[in-house]
Amino acid sequence: MSTAIFDKSVEFLAQIALFNESYSKSGLDRTLTNRLVQAAAEMGTHINNSVYGSDKTAFNACLQDALKSSVECVFLLKVISSTNLFPYDYVFLITMVQDIKNVLIASLNANKPQPDQNAPQSKWNKYNNGTAGRFST
């Protein structure tokens, strides 16, 4: 089964792998780029697992983990690009992962549990609504 977010994550990981391959040929230290590949792979894995999640809770947990990895990817790409040690189209990579991040955020927001309108109200709600605690004259 393939979804748009899954396809985007596969394409992003492929682009990161190509970037890492080019970067490795430069002879520069690869500590950050190796972590970037790891974070991109984790993001893709979590997105893949969300497709096969057993229930809504598992689905949301996978998306949360994917979101954390996407944020890490953005951070690492910005750090690597700011060193100016290796010329590359970082804007393209950052845009790709930010698109994925935005879809993940939208998916998580859409899956937030909605408050039950028929549920009994908490005894503290009257304080939040300003109906209690008023002094009578």
- Residue 62: give its domain's CATH number: 1.20.1440.60
**In this structure, what token pair is assigned to residue 22?**
């080019």
Tally of CA atoms within 13 A in the half-sphere of 15 that contains its CB: 18
State how far the Cα of 129 lies from the Cα of 11, in Å rounded to an integer. 49
CB distance 28 to 86 below 8 Å:
yes
Determine the structural domain holding residue 40 and report its residue range.
4-110
97 found inside a domain: yes
Q: Is 45 inside a domain boundary?
A: yes
Q: Is residue 65 part of a domain?
A: yes
| Residues 86-103 pLDDT 10s | 999 999 999 999 999 999
Domain annotation covers residue 123: no
Question: Mapping DSSP to helix (H, G, I), strand (E, B) and coil, where does residue 83 land?
Answer: coil
| Predicted structure pTM score | 0.80
- Residues 39, 12 contacting (CB under 8 angstroms): no
Number of domains the chain contains: 1
Phi, psi of 130 (to 5 degrees): 80, 15
For residue range 96-127, list pLDDT tens digits in order.
999 999 999 999 999 887 766 666 666 666 56
- Domain membership of residue 132 (yes or no) is no
User: Per the domain annotation, does 136 fall within a domain?
Assistant: no
Which pLDDT tens digit goes with each residue over 44-65? 999 999 988 778 889 999 999 9
